[in-house]
Amino acid sequence: MVDYTLTRSVRKTIALHVRDGSIEVRAPLKSPQSIIDNFVSSKEKWIEDKLLYFRDRAEQRANFHLNYGDCILYRGKKYPIESRFADFVGFEDDRFYVPAGLSSGEIKEACIQIYRKLAKQEIVSRTQFFAEQMSVTPTAIRVNGAKTRWGSCSSKKSLNFSWRLIMADDDLIDYVVVHELAHLSEMNHSNRFWSIIESVLPDYKRRKAKLKELHLNLGDETWD
């Protein structure tokens, strides 16, 4: 029998959740234990596949290292990391330049520094462009280190974007920017909210789906 954590609550069905090696079963308050155990047993193959998936991803994340010559994403395309003997850290001539003699961890930190600078320049510029087009005015536009959200809009109408967004294609960057700007008019995800986005980006659903793919792909890389 698979070991799992049981959570009972006011609900009508039994649900199974597998995440990062842990298994949780959520069941109605009065569900018999035998029914719950049978449900879990019927899902053993699915559980095994999920656990294997999370183990593989954890191993890939643990093995994520950056070295000279590796290629990393910038606006949807991959560019090489090269060394310079000076202390220059930046992106020029389709290359990420970092000083020579750095460890893998130091190379990653240098690349993050470059990403942050590029994100501040380009994401802020795109936000200003679409803000004018949509006739809205954010109180501030900031780039932060958010790990789970591409962007956010505060109650004070301040916009925040993760520097990781600069890895995405331009059309995906624009989608996130327009999404957050739409919150300046609608602080929810109502039909009106999505209509605002569609009026600016008629193909926003395609962009949204591509962004989910990118999120999954980057899940194998540890940038923290």
pLDDT digits (tens, 9 = 90+) for 191-211: 999 999 999 999 999 999 999
Q: Which two tokens stand for residue 203?
A: 């193909």
User: What are the residues whose beta carbons fall under 8 Å from the beta carbon of 137, sequence distance 6 or more?
Assistant: 131, 157, 184
Place of tokens 């009065």: 30
Asked whether the predicted pLDDT for residue 215 surpasses 80, the reply is: yes
- Band (pLDDT 50/70/90 cuts) for residue 56 is confident
**Coil vs helix vs strand at 151:** strand
Give the pLDDT confidence score for residue 99 in this predicted structure. 94
Q: Where are the beta strands (DSSP E) in 36-149?
A: 71-74, 77-84, 90-92, 95-99, 140-144
